């Protein structure tokens, strides 16, 4: 049971770290949070909503989490959903119910800001109508954030927060219904659909009531906890390249994914910030449309993805048609990308959609590290790089600069020695401890550090939490650490 904190002047204040994905999402942030959560008292979300998602296999069954912060399996961690998030109330209630079936009851551990915006039926409708051109997740995220900024439409409130639904359920439900009614009135089957929307709104009201005990009206909750010594980890949803301003419009999400924003959407003053932790992966993927400078197969891969979205083509079809090992040997980067997707399981966790695949883009990482002051980096999926051994590259290709339009860009790629797959497996078996990590992999780590200008403190060697070779924990580094290692300054320029 969490006890209410009173600010104790005798206690030293705690601190907060912010963890963000450095690429296009799906970097394995949840796995790293699961690893480092024991070092924190609170894990908090500050942006996004049910567009995020990760699957966790537990002895009691599989759970898919979208809105609850990732540290659910650490009973000592409080979980907090900050005011910068947008809530799908029905899905959130379902997530909590699912967690109870695997023995995790969050009733006393989860707090939700009453200022979170509620994703309304009209938002799903609009996202489903217009989101396909961007490749959104269809969760109503964009229209919800748009209404949050708009505040009113035709003089009527359109941004409805959780507190509205709890303080005036009747009036708030009426506003939601009116909004969706306006959008549906031209449709042939408006009557039928409106009946379904009424039911959806009723379910949202019920869900809000079920969540009420977890909702906090105390805006100083986190600030007081940290003032009293608590250690907070902010969990960024989506990733830096999908930020609404810094990403490439319009192929972005609608929230700020940047670490600085943790202190807006996460309800904590920035004075407690200690480290910014970045998570990247060695075989890069992107879902959704938009620029992807290191994409294997470039425009052809993007077109293949667009077609897969249209036709529903996914994992099953690719497995039926291709032998990945054969594709890997092809001189065509598109084939290599397809092979890597198949061999490393890069398909949407919910949809099964193929993800676009790209080379590890060190230039892009260097820019993100510099722009956001990333102190330390975890690099996941390094075990997957071993597949490049059988490709025409003959080693691990990394991208050092974006190819100019119309240029093949091969001169911007450097090929590094590939690690020995056997040794990597031995390293995994030998964990914890770094004795088993092959020298070639350590050389790779150092090369990456010099290129991106930040220390790599963990290498992901497999999907499980204990498959991470850790070199340091964020907390073991001195506060205010300069982002660049000495050697990075020469290599990065």
Residues 452-471 that bind ligand IMP (CB under 6 A): none
To the nearest whole angstrom, how small is the minimum distance from the Cβ of residue 51 to ligand IMP? 4
Tell whether 52 is in a known binding site. yes
Residues 271-300 that bind ligand IMP (CB under 6 A): 287-288
Task: For residue 216, report the phi and psi dihedrals to the nearest 5 degrees.
Answer: -110, 140
Of 134 and 456, which has the nearer Cβ to ligand IMP?
A: 134
Q: Does residue number 77 form part of the binding site for ligand IMP (CB under 6 A)?
A: no
Window of 72-80, 249-257, 275-283, 460-468 that interacts with ligand IMP by CB under 6 A: 249-257
Q: Judged by CB under 6 A, which stretch of 77-85, 134-142, 228-236, 456-464 contacts ligand IMP?
A: 134-142
**What character string, x for contact with ligand IMP (CB under 6 A) and - otherwise, covers 420-449?**
------------------------------
The residues near 33 (Cβ < 8 Å, ≥ 6 apart) are: 19, 43, 69, 70, 71, 233, 235
Nearest to 142 by CA among 36, 276, 255, 44: 255
> Is residue 94 annotated as a catalytic residue, yes or no?
no
Told to check if 139 binds ligand IMP by CB under 6 A, we report yes
Asked if 70 interacts with ligand IMP (CB under 6 A), we say no
Q: How many CB atoms neighbour CB 409 within 10 A? A: 17
Residue 379, beta-bridge partner list: 280, 459
Judged by CB under 6 A, the residue of 113, 161, 254, 276 near ligand IMP is: 254
For residue 257, give Cα distances in angstroms to 128, 154, 236, 260.
22, 30, 6, 9
Binding mask 46-65 for ligand IMP (x = CB under 6 A): -----xx-------------
Q: Residue 242 interacts with ligand IMP (CB under 6 A)?
A: yes
Long-range contacts of 153-160 (CB under 8 A, 24+ apart): 153/179, 159/117, 160/117, 160/118, 160/120
- Per CB under 6 A, the list member of 16, 253, 257, 380 interacting with ligand IMP is 253
* 97: its two tokens: 């119910």
The reply on whether position 66 binds ligand IMP by CB under 6 A is: no
By the rule CB under 6 A, 161 interacts with ligand IMP: no
335 annotated to bind ligand: no
Q: Is position 134 an interface residue for ligand IMP (rule: CB under 6 A)? A: yes
**14 marked ligand binding residue:** no
Residues 6+ apart with CB under 8 A from 155: none
Binds ligand IMP by CB under 6 A, chosen from 14, 25, 265, 474? 25
Q: Does 85 bind ligand IMP (CB under 6 A)?
A: no
Pick the stretch among 138-146, 217-225, 361-369, 424-432 that binds ligand IMP (CB under 6 A): 138-146
Determine whether the annotation assigns residue 297 to a binding site: no
User: Is 26 annotated as catalytic?
Assistant: yes
> For ligand IMP, which residue has the nearest CB?
288
Residues 17, 26, 147, 267: which binds ligand IMP (CB under 6 A)?
A: 26
Give the phi and the psi of residue 409 in degrees, each rounded to 5: 80, 5
Two structure tokens written together for 91:
């899905």
Q: Count the site residues for ligand IMP by CB under 6 A.
A: 18
Selecting among 15, 17, 26, 221, the annotated active-site residue is: 26
From 299, 296, 303, select the one nearest 333 (Cα to Cα): 296
CA gap 294, 42 in Å, rounded: 36
136 belongs to the binding site for ligand IMP (CB under 6 A): yes
Please report whether residue 20 would count as binding ligand IMP according to CB under 6 A.
Answer: no
Q: Does 184 bind ligand IMP (CB under 6 A)?
A: no
Which has the closest alpha carbon to 179: 125, 122, 118, 123? 122
352 is in an annotated binding site: yes
Provide the edge-to-edge strand list for the sheet that holds 413-416.
360-361, 396-399, 413-416
Per the annotation, binding residues for GTP are 25-31, 53-55, 355, 381-383, 460-462
- Can you say which residues are annotated as belonging to the binding site? 25-31, 51-55, 137, 151, 238, 253, 349-355, 381-383, 460-462
Q: Which residues are annotated as a binding site for IMP?
A: 26-29, 51-54, 137, 151, 238, 253, 353
Residue ranges binding ligand IMP (CB under 6 A): 25-26, 51-52, 134-137, 139, 141-142, 238, 242, 251, 253-254, 287-288
For the annotated catalytic residues, the residue numbers are 26, 54
């Amino acid at each position: 049971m969490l006890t209410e904190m009173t600010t104790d002047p005798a206690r030293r204040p705690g601190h907060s770290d912010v963890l963000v994905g450095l690429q296009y999402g799906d970097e394995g942030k949840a796995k790293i949070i699961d690893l480092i959560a024991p070092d924190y008292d609170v894990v908090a979300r500050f942006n996004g909503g049910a567009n995020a998602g990760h699957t966790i296999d537990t002895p009691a069954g599989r759970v898919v989490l979208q809105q609850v912060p990732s540290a659910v399996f650490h009973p000592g961690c409080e979980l907090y959903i900050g005011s910068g998030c947008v809530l799908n109330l029905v899905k959130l209630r379902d997530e909590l119910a699912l967690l109870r079936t695997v023995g995790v009851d969050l009733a006393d551990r989860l707090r939700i800001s009453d200022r979170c915006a509620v994703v309304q039926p009209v938002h799903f409708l609009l996202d489903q109508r217009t989101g396909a051109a961007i490749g959104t997740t269809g969760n109503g995220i964009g229209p919800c954030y748009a209404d949050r900024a708009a505040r009113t439409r035709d003089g009527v409130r359109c941004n409805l927060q959780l507190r509205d639904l709890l303080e005036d359920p009747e009036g708030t439900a009426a506003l939601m219904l009116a909004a969706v009614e306006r959008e549906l009135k031209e449709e042939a089957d408006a009557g039928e659909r409106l009946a379904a929307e009424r039911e959806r709104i009723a379910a949202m009201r019920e869900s809000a009531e079920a969540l009420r005990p977890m909702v906090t009206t105390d805006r100083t909750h986190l600030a007081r906890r940290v003032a009293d010594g608590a250690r907070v980890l902010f969990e960024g949803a989506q990733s830096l390249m999908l930020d609404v301003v810094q990403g490439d419009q319009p192929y972005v999400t609608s929230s700020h994914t940047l670490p600085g924003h943790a202190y807006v959407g996460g309800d904590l003053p920035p004075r407690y910030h200690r480290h910014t932790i970045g998570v990247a992966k060695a075989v890069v993927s992107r879902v959704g449309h938009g620029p992807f400078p290191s994409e294997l197969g470039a425009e052809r891969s993007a077109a293949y993805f667009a077609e897969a979205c249209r036709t529903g083509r996914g994992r099953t079809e690719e497995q039926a048609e291709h032998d990945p090992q054969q594709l890997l040997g092809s001189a065509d980067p598109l084939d290599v990308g397809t092979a890597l997707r198949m061999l490393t399981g890069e398909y949407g966790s919910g949809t099964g959609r193929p993800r676009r695949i790209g080379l590890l883009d060190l230039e892009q990482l260097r820019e993100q590290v510099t722009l956001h002051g990333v102190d330390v980096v975890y690099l996941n999926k390094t075990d997957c790089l071993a597949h490049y051994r059988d490709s025409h590259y003959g080693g691990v290709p990394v991208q050092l600069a974006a190819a100019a339009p119309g240029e093949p860009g091969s001169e911007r790629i450097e090929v590094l020695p590939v690690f020995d797959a056997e040794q990597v497996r031995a390293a995994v078996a030998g964990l914890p401890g770094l004795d088993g990590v092959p020298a070639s992999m350590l050389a790779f780590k150092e090369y990456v550090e010099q290129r991106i200008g930040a220390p790599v403190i963990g290498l992901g060697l497999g999907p499980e939490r204990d498959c991470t070779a850790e070199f340091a924990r964020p907390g073991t580094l001195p506060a205010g650490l300069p982002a660049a290692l000495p050697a990075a300054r020469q290599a990065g320029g």
